[in-house]
Amino acid sequence: MSDTNKSAGAHIVRVDSDRSGQRLDNFLAARLKGVPKSAIYRMIRTGQVRINGSRCKAASRLEEGDEVRVPPARTRESAECVVAEPIRRQIAESLIFEDRDMLVFNKPSGMAVHSGSGLLWGLIDGVRQIRPGEFVELVHRLDRETSGCLVLAKNGRALSHLSAQFRDGQVDKRYLCLLDGLLREPVVEVDAPLRKLESGPQSQVEVTADGKPALTRFHLLQRFPDCSYAEVELFTGRTHQIRAHANHLGLPLAGDERYAGRDSVKKWKNRGLRRIFLHAHRIALRSPSGESLTLDAPLPAALRTVLDGLEQ
C-alpha cells in the first residue's frame, strides 16, 4: 500500500504571468502532484476550487493576478509515475518542430496526451521527464487513438497566445481519415451540434439539437469501391467531433471501435487495420513571435500500408 499524506488546508494561490492562459485543471495538476486527475475534476465540479471566489470549470483559462482557491487533497507519493525509457525515446523522436516558444510532436496513436481516467501517464508527462525543470504545457488535445500534430507551449506567454488561437477558431486544423462507405460529393459539410452522452461504458457524443455547435468539412481525396479517403477541416473543436460527424453521415471512420459497428471493425481488422484511421496531418497557426507556421506530420506507416492495399 502506498504512503498517503494529507496536504495543508485550503489556501489561495495567485496566478503569475507565466501561468496566464493555462487551463485550470493543468494548473492544479502541477500544484497537486500525485493527486489523480479524477480527484481534481471532482474538486472542481463540486465547487471546492474557486477562481476569484467564483465557481469554475476544468477548462477555465487563468489570467495573471487571478486568485485560485486550492483545497486540501490526499496525495499518493509513490503513485508518481516514471515513463519508461523506450517511451521517452519514442516521444523524443516524434518531435517535428521546436522554437523558443513551442514544441510540436507527431503524437503516436494509442498514447494519451495526459494522465487520468486510469492512465498513469501521457505524452506531456514523458516530455516533462525528458526536459526536467522546463515549462511545458499542452495547448490543445487529441484523442488517445488519434495520431498527429500536437502543440505544446514552452512559456506562459506562448501558452496564452496559442490557446487563444485554438479557442477563437484561428487555427487551421486538417486531418486525414478513411470513411467506411462512399462520400458522394467532393466536399461535404456537416453543421450539426454535438452533446456528450451521460451513460455507457465508453464516453460518446451524439448529434442533437440541444448540443454545442460543431462544424466539420470533408474533402474527398480518393474514392475506393467501398470506402473514401478524405481530408477533414475542423472549424470547431468538440470531443470526438470528426468521429461523431462521420458516423452521422452513415460513414464511420475505419477501425473506430467506439462508433462503427462490429462488422465494420472486423472488416478493417481483416484488412490489416489495428487502429482508428484518423491522423492530424497539418496545422497552421501564428507563432508567438508573429510568424505564420504550417506544420505537417506524415501519415504513419500502418495507415499508409492500409491505403496501399486498397489500391492494389
Each residue of 251-290: pLDDT tens digit? 999 999 999 999 999 999 999 999 999 999 999 999 999 9
pLDDT band at 77 (very low <50, low <70, confident <90, very high): very low
Is position 125 annotated as part of the catalytic site?
Answer: no
| Residues 59 and 117 occupy one common structural domain | no
| Residues 23 and 142 occupy one common structural domain | no
∠ CA 301-237-142, nearest 5°, is 35
Query: Domain boundary at 167, 198, 229, which?
Result: 167
| Residues 128 and 185 occupy one common structural domain | no
pTM above 0.85, yes or no: no
What's the CATH number where 199 sits?
A: 3.30.2350.10
What's the CATH number where 10 sits?
A: 3.10.290.10
Question: Nearest to residue 63, comparing CAs of 100, 101, 22?
Answer: 22
C-alpha cell at 129: 521527464
Query: How much of the chain exceeds pLDDT 90, in percent?
Result: 67
Domain count, the chain: 3
Domain limits at 9?
4-77
CB neighbourhood size of 6 (10 A): 9
Each residue of 34-72: pLDDT tens digit? 787 888 898 999 899 999 999 999 989 988 889 999 988
Which one is catalytic: 25, 125, 143, 180?
A: 143
For 161, the enclosing helix (H) or strand (E) is helix 156-167
CB 194 within 8 A of CB 243: no
Return the amino acid letter for 20: S
| Residues 192 and 294 occupy one common structural domain | yes
For residue 77, the 8-state DSSP code is G
